Amino acid sequence: MTVLESPLQTAATALDGGRRQTARPRRGLVLGLACAAQAMVGLDIAIVNVAVPSIQRDLGISQSSVQWIVVAYGLLLGGFLLVGGRMTDLLGRRRILIAGLGLFTAASLLAGMAQHGGVLITARGFQGLGGALIAPAALSLLAVTFGEGHERNRALGLFGAVGAAAGTVGVVAGGLIAAGPGWRWAFFINVPAGVLLIALAITCLAADGARPRGGRLNVAGAGTVTGGLLTGVYALHHASTHGWFSVSTLAWFIAAGVLMAAFVRMERRSSTPLVPAGALRNRMLAAANLTALLAFGAFFSFIFLGSLLMQQELGYSPAQTGLAWLATTTTEFVTASVAGRLAAVVGVRRLLVAGLMLIAAGMVWLTQVPADADYLTDLLPAFLLAGLGLGLCGPSLQIGALSGVSASESGIASGLIETMREIGPAAGVAAVSTVLVAGSGLAGFHAAFAAIGVLAGLGATIAAIGFRRAG
């Protein structure tokens, strides 16, 4: 995938003897476009969280339905990422990116204009569906634009920095927007950004080539795995409110298991599997996905739990809570920006183990937070450790997931790692919520932070075992 050359670049190519060279401005534009698209998807995972009380009050949404403002987005995003990745490989990265941006932008406008809770929740679902097309297309663009090695690592470092920081920036922005112009602007802000990105993608990315010969979307497999993922993610949310061992929760998990088992059986028999066998045999990709499930589950559970701690136990306002996360966001962004370069020196394996252990250390620190906690001495050290840890992990996971993956399978590899990025938080938050509810007051928070530390430690163990020592 390349971007269109300007007349000046075309002339330079001709003067160079007709050799086609990769110009840095073109690659920089692809990187900027991919990072901006990923940031828009990541921001909307968190930006609405702080504004939920205002939305509930203004639209009269019942207590039993308010969670769907958040859940609808994550459910559709996590459920359709794998299909979005495969569509990227089959239909073209440019087409899928533009389609995803268009759907996301239109849904954001609808959400901002919503006068009824049902309309808003529906719009949030369509936002998630658009994000499921954007995320794998953006990551796949980088995989084919930058050659494997130092250049790709640097690009993925910046991409990972933006993606990792987007969640915590969303918390900050959500608090400021809720306290300022109002919650509708959490959605309206996506409209001009989306229109600009669509215009850039149309004018600056070269048209996709012909569809691969014999390539077609395995509709039965796509429908089955999407149904399985949607059911599984819903089961996790259901468990957090109805209990892990209730009849209804177990029924949802069984249904998800049946659908995923049917998907595996279909894949074995299909001549056009949704997930090519080569991708499944890639050890680095498998290790990256398992580690990502736990790493992102631990980190976003930390954001969820930390926000509750500050507002419910320590008396922080929504705006103060948002600003408190700037320490994590800044540390995360700076660290991830250099992690891609570090990966070539010390290896993906060491960075992942170190990053996850830093997150675990931050959680151990928070198990001692007192009722009269001071931000600088009791919260800030843990916030910095967690930001440093995810900053090391984010780009490393993407580098590992795309190592040794062919251009024709970069979309599905991107879809797999992004799926883990979404399912991990859903699973983590559900598990942590159960621990939190089982306790009481500050003691419940201490136990929940300890549970997050266990998730991070397990992720470090899998990374140490699953990745090659040289990786």
pLDDT tens, the chain, 471 aa long: 333 333 333 333 333 333 344 444 477 888 888 888 888 887 877 777 667 777 888 888 775 566 678 778 877 887 788 788 878 888 888 899 999 999 999 999 999 999 988 899 999 999 989 998 998 888 888 877 887 777 777 787 778 777 766 766 776 777 677 777 788 888 998 999 999 999 999 988 877 766 655 556 667 777 888 788 778 877 877 776 777 788 998 999 999 999 989 888 887 777 777 776 666 667 777 888 889 889 988 988 898 888 888 888 888 877 787 788 888 888 988 888 788 778 778 888 899 999 999 999 999 999 999 988 999 999 999 999 999 998 898 888 878 777 766 666 667 777 778 778 777 877 787 788 778 877 778 888 999 999 999 999 999 999 998 887 654
Closest Cα to residue 5, out of 198, 137, 203, 151?
A: 203
The type of residue at 127 is Q
What is the pTM assigned to this prediction?
Answer: 0.74
pLDDT of residue 159: 81
Kindly give the interhelix angle for 283-308 and 348-366, rounded to the nearest 10 degrees: 20
| Nearest-5° Cα angle at 407, 404 to 409 | 80
Q: Which residues 6+ apart lie within 8 Å of 440 measured at CB?
A: none
| Nearest-5° Cα angle at 234, 230 to 235 | 115
pLDDT of residue 93: 85
Q: Which residues 6+ apart lie within 8 Å of 152 measured at CB?
A: 142, 143, 146, 399, 402
Distance CA 287, CA 192 (A): 38
Give me the DSSP letters along 207-239: PP-PPPTT----HHHHHHHHHHHHHHHHHHHHH
Buried b (16+ CB within 10 A) or exposed e, 231-265: bbbbbbbbbbeeeeeeeebeebbebbeebbebbee
pLDDT of residue 18: 38
pLDDT of residue 250: 92
**Percentages helix, strand, coil for the chain, rounded to the nearest 5?**
80, 0, 20
Distance CA 440, CA 448 (A): 11
Q: Which residues 6+ apart lie within 8 Å of 373 measured at CB?
A: 314, 379
pLDDT of residue 269: 78
Within a 10 A sphere around the Cβ of 180, how many other Cβ atoms? Answer: 9
pLDDT of residue 210: 61
- Torsion sign, CA atoms 142, 143, 148, 149: positive
CB of 85 within 8 A of CB of 178?
no
